[in-house]
Structure 1
Amino acid sequence: MGTSSAMDPCAPQPPLFTFGLIADVQYADIDDGFNFTRTRRRYYRSSLQLLKNALRSWSESAVKPAFILQLGDLIDGFNKPRGASQRALDAVLREFASCPVRVHHVWGNHEFYNFSRSELVGSPLDSSPYADSRPSEVPGQDPIYAYQFSPFPGFTFVVLDGYDVSLLGRQESSEQYNNAMNLIKLYNNNEDLNCPPELECHSRFTMFNGGYSREQLDWLESVLSAADEKQERVTIVSHLPVHPYSTDSVCLAWNYEDLLAVIRSHSCVVCYMAGHAHDAGYCLDQDTGVHHLTVDGVIETVPDSDAYGTVSVYADRMVLVGKGRMADRVLLFL
């Protein structure tokens, strides 16, 4: 007589929940081009098809993901000078509309190339209505785009605003813009602020990066302290990587050390996920056991491949199954 899987201790256990992962689609209805240094090809038009591939896979999956993490740069900055920002955004949002699960959108530099911060607030790219909590708003200032949500008991996800301190998306007359300009000018004397400083240790101080305000870091402290008390597992997501061993130095957040210090002072964080770099990166922070994962970008993925993944979450680990150039990974909770 056979033993049912429910009674068999050796049978594979189903995950507690799953979620989809994709980054840097950067769609534009233009011919292929190259990155800033003209060393990598970018497939602007076919990136929409790769997004469709991912959404179709998740929609047809026998076990639907609980949600999708879209890690920023959904449409490319080249749309703006062509007057095509809204048209490009509508094209990608039509694809997401066909997907039956909730999407959590992260804001990257290309969101701000196309739209101001005030235009993004309340737009279809603003997924903060799904939040369980978010930072308090300051009168007269655009809100910080950060929030937390819990898809399953014992697990919390935190979306962070990597351009809270930035030149992008801000009015040039604003205090935030002036503060960001003063900061970047301490390290970058180039006329073109998208050109990195010569010193590698300062190369992150470019216009296409940004940082985290004290207000956002204090809010994150409070979220992680509560998660510590409840012994939850926390995954943090943002557009910008924050561990120097998880990406090229030019892609790091301006004040990555400050965010790392917050993460390292709490036991609840298990993983930090980011996009921006277009090349996969990974490191395990030996001091804390936190996995730092930088996700491959769709925009630099050849049209006959893919760049997305599905993450299955268990009590003791997360298992990423990648498609195309995105590699499989097992992230143990240490």
Structure 2
Amino acid sequence: MDDHPQQMPLFIFGVIADIQYADIDDGYNYSQTRRRYYRSSLQLLRNAQESWSESAVKPEFIIQLGDIIDGFNKGSGASDRALDTVLRELSSGAAEVHHVWGNHEFYNFSRSALLRSRLNSSLHTDGSPSRARAGSDIYAYHFSPFPGFTFVVLDAYDVSLLGREETSEQYSEAMNLIKQYNNNEDLNCPPESEGLQQRFTMFNGGFSKAQLDWLDSVLTSADEKRERVTIVSHLPIHPYSTDPICLAWNFDELLAIIRSHSSVVCFMAGHDHDGGYHRDRVTGVHHLTLEGVIETPPDGNAFGTVSVYEDRMVLKGNGRITDRVFVFPGCQSDADQGAK
């Protein structure tokens, strides 16, 4: 699979998504079709941490792709306690953690509270991150773990009904947008049973023009420096990498920006607990949607370890996560990879 077995990676990082821990009995998803293992998710996180800490070459950082605790915690007043429990587990290793915000973060906490919390990695990371200046409450930043490589964390609920005060202009704008497509009384119910418009639900969101303009400028700089950029977000943005019901509202605008730059090599997301993968035919960019811990049985696993080389990233999956090789666009044998 990896044709450079003797080559040492430049750096390694871990990935995990949708832990959704809660100290409650097992339940089911919104449509009552998939079992959710709320307590067991903590043990699966522990398995990941033990694997990362025991490996010969340890990850320099972990990307937690959002939904770290479940929304059920809010109703029982357990949000802070649940978060403490999970963060204690995550901090047991030496690697720094970059947190992405998903819908369940906003079920539990306000945006202002999250910005002040330990889930604001732009405050706590050692990687000298650069925050999105274009909006004071946009949670987007980038960091460079190794020369020539940049990671960008995006805020997929910048435009959203979640985490916004109902009296705010942002809330009104998000409501006007979703109401163009979804007339259901329950806005968590998709407007149609199939097709891309399913994405216009309350548990999704999108990216503001301010955030997109900021990303555009970050990628322009990366293009000039010939850097490799990996973008992470809770919501997937490629229709072929996820069930359409999990897509970001304005995925097409973000895809267009990525397609106008040469530096992006990979986009990683969570949210769709079944996971997914697609390689963009236009750009060669890899779109990975990571399987969720919350719907992984207690005897399984759902985490990945990524080794980064000059011309590729190699994902070693555990449990439900599939092994993959992400050859960077333009590198040798790139054409052989094809689009999946």
Q: TM-score range by the shorter chain?
A: over 0.9
**Which structure would you say has the larger Rg?**
1
Asked if residue 195 in structure 1 is aligned to residue 195 in structure 2, the reply is no
What code does the residue aligned with 2:91 have? A
Give runs of aligned pairs for residues 129-208 of structure 1, distance below 5 A: 129=123, 130=125, 131-136=128-133, 138=135, 143-198=137-192, 200-208=195-203
Determine which of 278, 281, 288 is the counterpart of 1:286.
Answer: 281
Distance in 2 (CA, whole Å) between partners of 1:98 and 1:292 is 30
Asked if residue 330 in structure 1 is aligned to residue 325 in structure 2, the reply is yes
What code does the residue aligned with 1:132 have? P
1:136 CA drift (Å): 1.2
User: TM-score scaled to structure 2, two decimals?
Assistant: 0.93
287 and 97 in structure 1: CA distance in 2 versus 1, 3 angstrom threshold = same
What code does the residue aligned with 1:162 have? A
Deviates more, 1:161-170 or 1:11-20: 11-20
Asked if residue 54 in structure 1 is aligned to residue 48 in structure 2, the reply is yes
- Equivalent position SS for 2:116: coil
Distance in 2 (CA, whole Å) between partners of 1:53 and 1:165 is 35
Distance in 2 (CA, whole Å) between partners of 1:11 and 1:216 is 39
What code does the residue aligned with 2:36 have? R
- Equivalent position SS for 1:276: coil
1:200 CA drift (Å): 2.2
- Equivalent position SS for 2:130: coil
Asked if residue 251 in structure 1 is aligned to residue 246 in structure 2, the reply is yes
Distance in 2 (CA, whole Å) between partners of 1:311 and 1:122 is 30
Contact 1:16 1:312 in 2 (8 A): yes
Contact 1:29 1:88 in 2 (8 A): yes
Determine which of 18, 29, 45 is the counterpart of 1:24.
Answer: 18
**After superposition, what is the alpha-carbon deviation per residue over 1:177-225, rounded to whole angstroms, capped at 9, x for unaligned?**
0100000000000000000001623110000000000000000000000
What code does the residue aligned with 1:96 have? L
1:122 CA drift (Å): 2.1
Distance in 2 (CA, whole Å) between partners of 1:196 and 1:285 is 26
**What is the match of residue 5 of structure 1?**
none
- Equivalent position SS for 2:118: coil
Contact 1:308 1:324 in 2 (8 A): yes
Distance in 2 (CA, whole Å) between partners of 1:280 and 1:188 is 25
Determine which of 85, 92, 100 is the counterpart of 1:91.
Answer: 85
**What is the match of residue 6 of structure 1?**
none
What code does the residue aligned with 2:290 have? V
Distance in 2 (CA, whole Å) between partners of 1:168 and 1:19 is 30
**What is the match of residue 261 of structure 1?**
256
Q: Which runs of 4+ in 1 moved over 2 A?
A: 129-132
Determine which of 208, 213, 219 is the counterpart of 1:213.
Answer: 208
What code does the residue aligned with 2:118 have? P
CA root-mean-square deviation: 1.3
User: TM-score scaled to structure 1, two decimals?
Assistant: 0.95
Distance in 1 (CA, whole Å) between partners of 2:190 and 2:90 is 35
Asked if residue 39 in structure 1 is aligned to residue 33 in structure 2, the reply is yes
Contact 1:137 1:143 in 2 (8 A): no
Distance in 1 (CA, whole Å) between partners of 2:18 and 2:309 is 27
**What is the match of residue 220 of structure 2?**
225
- Equivalent position SS for 1:278: coil
What code does the residue aligned with 2:237 have? V
What code does the residue aligned with 2:110 have? S
**What is the match of residue 336 of structure 2?**
none
What code does the residue aligned with 2:24 have? I
Count of residue pairs brought into register by the alignment: 323
Give runs of aligned pairs for residues 230-245 of structure 1, distance below 5 A: 230-245=225-240
1:137 CA drift (Å): 5.2
1:285 CA drift (Å): 0.3
Gaps of 5+ in 2: 330-340
Distance in 1 (CA, whole Å) between partners of 2:207 and 2:238 is 14
Distance in 1 (CA, whole Å) between partners of 2:269 and 2:95 is 21
Determine which of 286, 293, 307 is the counterpart of 1:298.
Answer: 293
- Equivalent position SS for 1:203: helix
**What is the match of residue 125 of structure 1?**
119
Distance in 1 (CA, whole Å) between partners of 2:50 and 2:92 is 9
Distance in 1 (CA, whole Å) between partners of 2:139 and 2:299 is 34
Contact 2:134 2:214 in 1 (8 A): no
1:146 CA drift (Å): 0.2
1:11 CA drift (Å): 6.8
Distance in 2 (CA, whole Å) between partners of 1:28 and 1:119 is 20
